[in-house]
Chains A and B, each alone.
Chain A
């Protein structure tokens, strides 16, 4: 990781939502996160529901205005909300949503859906729309006769392919993928993931890939970030992450995954078992936000918020008991 060509840099991003009927209470959806994304890289954001993964994505593309923090894209500040963002920037950053059933307009044909971004971003002359839409459909291997069909007549996987084609229409360099396959069957998921990987190679795309499926992450991402209650608990290159998970929460997640082979069973941490539920982001626990579920929690965890510690190059962990180079060591005990 000598020279990173970061296209996206997120610094101290925070997003608080006000709680209705109370002035000093906030849902702390994101509570200060930092990460970078390089050209052609896939960064996976993993976490349970309520951990702030989707909010992070929406902040990056500007669907929501963040409370605090700074996001830069190719050195340009993009912390402003979408309405103030220049068109040229919107073109560069696209999103694919989780449920293609609701993200595609049911009253528009596939042609309408795919030509709208061409129109808005003036990608080509109107007489070339058909040609261009056909080229987009080629990219995701959809047959041309779908052009005049409506989303409802397509299967879930095909609809998601349309959503991907729509994101590609403006030739972006960064695509945010918000759980693009979690509503789909595994055989369909396999096709979508392979298409995404192929497109990434062909077009040098960067992906911010959000999912709750760690096994999928293993096969898709270059780097993985684990989110818990609006913060990043651990961020690491995929290889290091799966071979050497450090944060107790990461271990808990890994130990909970149902797997299909002995080989995978070996990779699951055994000394930790899943317990408890993610607390409400309105009342975030003091100190380390994970201490309520952590079997190793000590007094310091309840009082002091841990710093990010670099365990190995590029592998940082937010835990009091993680030491640089040594990893997870419980102080005072063997």
Chain B
């Protein structure tokens, strides 16, 4: 995955290992994550609770918790290594390079300031032309709210977050993160708390705004359906590893990793047909993860090799990589039979 020059990517994460200090020792969460995003590309990271999706993107924006430790790896943002950046540049990166939309807008918006004053602040520090001018701030805020299809922007600017509905709050977060040009927008489960009709509206707005502003997007979600609707390319994550990645269409046509297969079979389909029994077992304990493939203890197809070393990423078609020793068996259909 490294033939392309790192300058072609907005974000290029290479072999990232992150662990967290706890009372009992270090939990080894990220286990060699590789991820890249091209300019104007929309990617999605899909995985279940606790698989390290959020840790991955927080590493990119360098907003990890205090007890986090980056053990090894490189993170390039527009060709510059984020991990060796001086503090001043990091600040600039957060002010104008990358913006994050969090899962819970009631927690990410300040309850004691009006929506307008919070949005203006973002513009003030963004370094755009005339950022210090109050009039410019006002105009840009109104424009951003209008562009996210929020009715009556003047009233919303003078409201406090609690006076607005969940869908509106999340749209304000989208408006805020795209009120100034950004190379990358990170959306961390932006619609998990919303109803399905509101989710649909918010996702459509997000997609449209990201396209208009020519930003790249990393969307974190636990729903493969949302990822399919939103992303050009999808990463499937399990226990700190990217187990499979492919273009959106390819992934749903031909998913090869046993974990992806298990996940797909668990999803209730609108067309009926029942759902599978689920994936047996648990996520591994990050304190002492299994040495080989982290999915091996739950994998029905695991062979002894899987328990010894972590499988590398194999390319099975252009841009479709899978981290599984038995990917060839999958391709030839042998994997249907359990070992």
Contact = CB atoms under 8 A, between A and B. Distances in A.
B15 interface: no
A264 B229 contact: no
A193 B277 CA distance: 9
Contacts of A187: 48, 262-263, 266, 278-279
A332 interface: no
A169 B184 CA distance: 53
B228 interface: yes
B230 to A, nearest CB: 8
A314 interface: no
B278 A191 contact: yes
The contact size tier of chain A is 35 or more
Q: SS class of chain A's interface: helix, strand, loop or mixed?
A: helix
Given A187-B263, A213-B268, A256-B199, A219 B273 contact: yes
Contact of A260 (B267, B273, B278): B267
B270 A242 contact: yes
B332 to A, nearest CB: 23
Given A274-B201, A277-B165, A191 B271 contact: no
B164 to A, nearest CB: 10
Interface in A232-273: 238, 242, 252-261, 263-264, 267-268, 273
Interface stretch (B89-97, B140-148, B219-227): B219-227
Interface in B252-273: 252, 262-273
Interface stretch (B18-26, B121-129, B130-138, B190-198): B190-198
Given A190-B277, A212-B195, A258-B223, A185 B267 contact: no
Nearest to A213: B268
B269 A215 contact: yes
A254 B268 CA distance: 14
Contact of A215 (B48, B222, B263, B267): B267
A274 B197 contact: yes
B282 A216 contact: no
A277 B49 CA distance: 28
B274 interface: yes
A155 B49 CA distance: 11
Contacts of B267: 186, 215, 260
Contacts of A185: 48-49, 222
A264 to B, nearest CB: 4
A260 B277 contact: no
B276 interface: yes
B228 A259 contact: yes
9 contacts: A190-B279, A194-B278, A212-B196, A219-B272, A261-B271, A263-B271, A267-B271, A277-B167, A277-B198
Interface of A: 48-49, 155-156, 185-191, 193-194, 212-216, 218-220, 238, 242, 252-261, 263-264, 267-268, 273-275, 277-278
